[in-house]
Amino acid sequence: MAIEPLADETAGTISLGDLEVRRLGFGAMRITGEGVWGPPADRGEALAVPRRAVELGVNLIDTADSYGPHVSEELIAEALHPYPEDLVIATKGGLERTGPGAWPRNGRPEHLREACEGSLRRLRLERIDVYQLHAVDPDVPYEESVGALKELQEEGKIRHIGVSNVGLSELATARSMVEVVSVQNRFNLGDRDAADVLEACEADELAFIPWFPLSAGSLAEPGGPAAEIADRHGATPAQLALAWLLRFPAMLPIPGTGSVAHLEENLAAATLQLSDEEVATLTDA
What is the rounded CA–CA span in Å between residue 120 and residue 89?
Answer: 11
The tens digit of pLDDT for each residue in 224-234 reads 999 999 999 99
The tens digit of pLDDT for each residue in 104-156 reads 999 999 999 999 999 999 999 999 999 999 999 999 999 999 999 999 999 99
Q: Give the model's pLDDT for residue 235.
A: 96
pTM value is 0.96
Band (5; pLDDT cuts 50, 70, 90): confident
Contact by Cβ (8 Å): 90, 116? no
Contact by Cβ (8 Å): 59, 86? yes
N-to-C CA span, the chain: 25
Band (9; pLDDT cuts 50, 70, 90): confident
Q: What is the DSSP string of 155-181?
A: TTSEEEEEEES--HHHHHHHHHHS-EE
Q: Give the model's pLDDT for residue 2.
A: 60
What is the rounded CA–CA span in Å between residue 145 and residue 75?
Answer: 27
Instruction: Report the pLDDT averaged over residues 181-206.
Output: 97
The tens digit of pLDDT for each residue in 61-71 reads 999 999 999 99
Band (28; pLDDT cuts 50, 70, 90): very high
What is the rounded CA–CA span in Å between residue 185 and residue 182?
Answer: 10
Residues marked as catalytic: 67
Cis omega (within 30 of 0) for bond into 138: no
